[in-house]
Amino acid sequence: MRFISWNVNGLRAVLKKNFYEVFDMLGADIFALQETKCQPDQVELDLPGYHAYYSSAEKKGYSGTVVFSREEPLRVLHGLGDEYLDQEGRIVACEFPTFWFVDVYTPNSQMELARIDHRMQWDDAFREFCLGLEAGTLPDGSSADPKPVIMCGDFNVAHNDIDLKNPDPNRGASGFSDEERGKFEELLEAGFTDTFRYLHPDLANMYTWWSYQHRARRTNAGWRIDYFLVSNSIRDRIESATIYNEIEGSDHCPIGLEIADL
């Protein structure tokens, strides 16, 4: 199966640019977006053959996620099961016969780590949510069949020095703080694999986000903060993990994953 993830920094904005061209070119079985910044009734999409599942923030024009899938899921969850954390439309989780697919837009800790406490709470809750899906325990306490998890999205953290152009001046800043990196490490240690690093452990200068300031994209002064993670039980089935850094339209580029025998 082929999966694509893209933080579009506004679905309505990218629809005026190259969204349909990119969507058709990448030909995913499941295509996940983050930072849609819209309610479902604010966009008109023509994607024949796909089902659409939106999670929107209570605040208009903010955050938001959506999953487009060729196959209709068995069920769809639109949050972690926490009323406080679920106000910003940051989760779409789809259950399929042999796996869970989770689209996530992780909260930004903001300048001077102003929202770091919220971020730490989110990271812990998200990790437990994904472990619950894997084990067959849903947020409402009901049960499902245990299944591996494929998760993707903008995690708003560069894991290691290799994952951003200028690690030293950014050490301790939002997206590269010890706290955020530590929580991402905890997620991996809980039983999940960073698919890109699994296949490309030493490949440098591969980023997924560039600031709109200082010509960052032109000089490739970027960060790798968008990921596909999978349960360790299926990492041997990974066929490819791709960063489409040539595709513009947003301050992020799409990323891809192909897995066999799902």
The set of catalytic residues is 105, 154
Q: What are φ and ψ of residue 239, in 5° steps?
A: -100, -35
Tokens at 147, concatenated? 């299944």
The span from the CA of 183 to the CA of 45, in Å, is 36
Tokens at 205, concatenated? 């200068």
Question: According to the 3-state scheme, what is the secondary structure of the chain?
Answer: CEEEEEECCCHHHHHCCCHHHHHHHHCCCEEEEECCCCCHHHCCCCCCCCEEEEECCCCCCCCCEEEEECCCCCEEECCCCCCCHHHCCCEEEEECCCCEEEEEECCCCCHHHCCHHHHHHHHHHHHHHHHHHHHCECCCCCECCCCCEEEEEECCCCCCHHHECCHHHHCCCCCCCHHHHHHHHHHHHCCEEEHHHHHCCCCCCCCCECCCCCCCCCCCCCECCEEEEEEHHHHHHEEEEEECCCCCCCCECCEEEEECCC
